[in-house]
Amino acid sequence: MAEADSTHEAHWQRTKNLTIITLIIWFIFAFGVHWFAPQLNSITFLGFPLGFYMAGQGSLFAFVVIIFWFARAQNKIDEEFGVAEDENEDE
Amino acid sequence: MKGDFIQNLGKIYGLYTGGFLLFIILMAILEQAGVSPDTIGYLFVGFTIAIYALIGVLSRTMATDQYYVAGRQVPALYNGMATAADWMSGASFVAMAGGIYFGGYGYMAFLVGWTGGYVLVASLMAPYLRKFGCYTVPDFIGTRYGGNFARLCAVIVLVVASFTYVTAQINATGTVAARALQIPFEVGVWFGLAGILVCSMLGGMRAVTWTQVAQYIVLIIAYIVPVVWMSNKSGFGLIPQLAYGDAVHRVQELEALHQVGALKPTETFGGLAALVNPINAPGDTLMAKWKFATLVLCMMCGTASLPHVLMRYFTTPSVRSARISVGWSILFIFLLYFTAPALATFTKLSLLDPNLATGIIGKSIADVNALQWIQKWAAVDFLKVSDSNGDGILQINELFMRADIVVLATPEIAGLPYVISGLVAAGGMAAAMSTADGLLLAIANALSHDLYYKIIDPKAETKTRLVVARILLLGVGAAGAFVASLKLTSILGAVAWAFDFACSGLFFPLVLGIWWKRANREGAIAGMVGGFVAGSAYLYYVYFAGGTPWFGIDHLRFGVIGMPVSLVLMIVVSLMTEEPDEETQRMVDAVRTPRGGTVLDATH
């Protein structure tokens, strides 16, 4: 039981760290970049004013990437600690 | 076909998509053959609703886990499509591009908020709630914190938030049905409700899931085809979303030329607005930045607390697939959301550019009034041209429109065939119906499972429970249609409110229930009641009592008031009262570990 507890603790610690990193990146794209939109607009990116681009497309795309990345990373952690579900549960 | 339904999903929906494309081509041929636009609109809406109804009837079930969570066997990809349809409402489909057209940069806070919220769903909520194995969101609150009162509080917040939202959706189905079928709005609302209920009555979550996948396919085709067509026609290529940067620069020049923002309208027409916000003018003041950030925050936390979204992730086969499914959801949502600003930009360009044949600003009023699409939309009060300063020329502050027009009228402004307008109507209907279905089911399930079965009659038999669930669905739907037929609020106001209600009352009790073992019943109740009451009281103060907003926090952002109250109360009260018992703490540990069975058993 003690061993199971320590595995559980270590797994949860890694999960927390991953979640915090995810939320920091999320915060940057959710709030950080838009705070500086007027300044970013003087930069042209893919033909767009960058401030507009981030609110209309850039941040949105970043969120898609973050979630897929997060799902993969969390899955790796689960497998490493042997707490992932069996493969056949997916079908 | 060999194998069961789930194994053949790819084939089935592939055939369905092909069939829908053939149907569009058939309609185009009929249009060429001289069939009237009215008939084509009728066929589009009628045919798609008939398909959804068929799926709804085929998915009927009398098993509780099928009815509440689709048997937990929806693959991640398809759950992603269903969530996207569940999520993208009539407002997303019909009003978002118009919102960007009129609201400019500030409105794009909705785009950021309604996508970024899914990062919170994926990292803080969905996988853990899936592991928990609940049927509804109050089911989690009631079991984690224990006691009927906590469960009841969650039911109340859920019902208020979702009901505000669902009236807007039934309103939208009514609007589309009324226009496509040429019936009065008050009748259209009930017709729309009938379409919604036929998808969910017999099969609950199982039926809603498979109709939502079908509805997503219709709505995304209907949104993207006209934009691509228009963009290709005006020389921006087949992937306009990547190529409209130059159009943004050009629109900024044109807005300066036409003095957008400097010329204020001198008249008002109910429900119509003139353009005063430039497309890309983020304010450099602290207030403007704060307003953008607070709206983003409320929409994000609301996304992560709205039960009709969260309950979609209860249907996946595993915790792992729940996480991936959030990724698919946001990818499918992204496809529409990154198209909306492109559409708004093209519409602006075509109306403002004097070098284009479609440009009307700066033309003579008489010429503009002679245009067919202007006459058509003016006749139904969606648009008004008024020569306020009497100079005979149309200025930017003399063209008044409803925001919906940007999506609905674009095919006509750009001179596309009518078949495209019929397609857009079918897409708008699909978007509104799918969201309404998800919301009605969330409300009815909370009332039947949490209020009736868990609180009022825990000994009720399966059959009785499912009959009660259906009666409640019917009742809630009828109440929603009745309120919608009264036309009380504008669509947008109501939608944003739902997010604020949800995040005020539910965000922290849900998050802390998973992430903070020390959170207990008293704290959760204080958090739900305090946050919800504070948010609602502020909404009343700022919207109904005409109070001055504090720090620019208007009625769209009242979650900024509710959430901190909820957080502080929940922490303080939890710490002041007893620690949760060992069983509860073990439950939280189990939720945090993907392996092993659900905390609640499959047919609780």
Q: Please name the residue of chain B whose CA is at the shortest distance from the CA of residue A76.
A: B320
Q: Which of A85, A86, A88 to mutate to test the interface with B (most CBs of B within 10 A)?
A: A85
Cα–Cα distance, B257 to B281 (Å, whole number): 15
Token pair 């073990």 is found at B586
What is the domain partition of chain B in residue ranges? 6-263+274-346+416-592
Asked whether the predicted pLDDT for residue A3 surpasses 70, the reply is: no
The whole-number average pLDDT for the span B80-104 is 88
pLDDT at A42: 87
Closest CA to B191 of B165, B171, B218, B162: B171
> Residue B520, Cα to own-chain centre: how many angstroms?
32
Asked whether the predicted pLDDT for residue A87 surpasses 70, the reply is: no
Percent pLDDT > 70 in chain B is 98
Asked whether B200 and B207 are in contact (CB, 8 A), the reply is yes
For B385, phi then psi, to 5°, come to -110, 125
For residue A19, the distance in angstroms to the closest alpha carbon of chain B comes to 6
Cα–Cα distance, B138 to B135 (Å, whole number): 9
Note the residue count of chain B: 604
Asked whether B269 and B284 are in contact (CB, 8 A), the reply is no
pLDDT level of residue B500 (50, 70, 90 thresholds): very high
| Residue A78 near chain B (CB below 8 Å) | yes
Asked whether the predicted pLDDT for residue B413 surpasses 90, the reply is: no
- Identity of the residue numbered B495: V
Asked whether B508 and B302 are in contact (CB, 8 A), the reply is no
Residues 70-89 of B with CB under 8 A from A: 75-76
B118 and A63 in contact by Cβ < 8 A? Answer: yes
pLDDT at B42: 85
pLDDT level of residue B158 (50, 70, 90 thresholds): very high
Cα–Cα distance, B518 to B533 (Å, whole number): 24
| Residue B245 near chain A (CB below 8 Å) | yes
| Residue A42 near chain B (CB below 8 Å) | no
pLDDT (tens digit, 9 = 90+) per residue, B231-240? 887 777 788 8
Which 3-state string (H, E, C) describes B324-373?
HHHHHHHHHHHHHHCCHHHHHHHHHHHHHCCCCCCCCCCCEHHHHHCCHH
Contacts of B292 in chain A (CB under 8 A): 34, 37
Contacts of B300 in chain A (CB under 8 A): 30
For B67-101, letters b (16+ CB in 10 Å) and e give bbbbbbbbbbbbbbbbbbbbbbbbbbbbbbbbbbb
More confident residue, B501 or B377: B501
More confident residue, A25 or A46: A25
A71 and B326 in contact by Cβ < 8 A? Answer: yes
For residue A9, the distance in angstroms to the closest alpha carbon of chain B comes to 10
- Identity of the residue numbered B6: I
CATH topology of domain B6-263+274-346+416-592: Sodium/glucose cotransporter (1.20.1730)
For residue B602, the distance in angstroms to the closest alpha carbon of chain A comes to 15
Contacts of A48 in chain B (CB under 8 A): 244-245, 248
The whole-number average pLDDT for the span B471-500 is 79
B327 and A47 in contact by Cβ < 8 A? Answer: no
- A53-67, B322-336, B429-443, B587-601: least confident range: B587-601
Cα–Cα distance, A73 to A19 (Å, whole number): 10
pLDDT level of residue B494 (50, 70, 90 thresholds): low
Positive/negative CA dihedral, B337, B340, B342, B345: negative
Cα–Cα distance, B299 to B306 (Å, whole number): 10
Ordered alpha helix ranges (H), B304-318: 307-310
* Alpha-carbon separation of residue B222 from B97, B411, B553 (angstroms): 14, 11, 36
Q: Is B461 exposed, middle or buried (0-12, 13-18, 19+ CB in 10 A)?
A: exposed
pLDDT (tens digit, 9 = 90+) per residue, B162-200? 988 888 888 878 877 777 777 787 888 888 888 888 888
Measured in Å, how far apart are chain A's first and last C-alpha atoms?
Answer: 32
- Identity of the residue numbered B526: A
Closest CA to B411 of B398, B420, B402: B420
B320 and A61 in contact by Cβ < 8 A? Answer: no
Positive/negative CA dihedral, B274, B278, B279, B283: negative
Cα–Cα distance, B524 to B519 (Å, whole number): 7
Asked whether A83 and B595 are in contact (CB, 8 A), the reply is yes
| Residue A56 near chain B (CB below 8 Å) | yes
Q: Which of A11, A24, A89 to mutate to test the interface with B (most CBs of B within 10 A)?
A: A89
Q: Is B517 exposed, middle or buried (0-12, 13-18, 19+ CB in 10 A)?
A: middle
pLDDT level of residue A90 (50, 70, 90 thresholds): very low
| Residue B285 near chain A (CB below 8 Å) | no
pLDDT at B2: 45
Percent pLDDT > 90 in chain B is 34
Contacts of B511 in chain A (CB under 8 A): none
pLDDT (tens digit, 9 = 90+) per residue, B31-76? 888 888 888 888 888 889 889 989 988 888 888 888 888 888 899 9
DSSP state of A54: I
pLDDT (tens digit, 9 = 90+) per residue, B18-28? 999 999 999 99
Closest CA to B67 of B478, B601, B468: B468
pLDDT at B212: 93
For residue B278, the distance in angstroms to the closest alpha carbon of chain A comes to 12
**Which residues are CB-neighbours of B510 under 8 A, at least 6 positions away?**
B125, B129, B137, B140, B141, B304, B305, B310
Cα–Cα distance, B549 to B558 (Å, whole number): 10
pLDDT at B538: 92
ipTM of the complex: 0.93
Residues 58-77 of A with CB under 8 A from B: 59-61, 63-64, 66-68, 70-71, 74-75
Closest CA to B422 of B34, B47, B16, B101: B47
Three-state DSSP class for residue B595: coil
Residue B389 CB coordination number (10 Å): 12
pLDDT at B602: 65
Asked whether the predicted pLDDT for residue B442 surpasses 60, the reply is: yes
Asked whether B418 and B40 are in contact (CB, 8 A), the reply is yes
B245 and A53 in contact by Cβ < 8 A? Answer: yes
Average pLDDT over chain B reads 87
How many A/B residue pairs have CB atoms within 8 Å?
155
Asked whether B309 and B570 are in contact (CB, 8 A), the reply is no
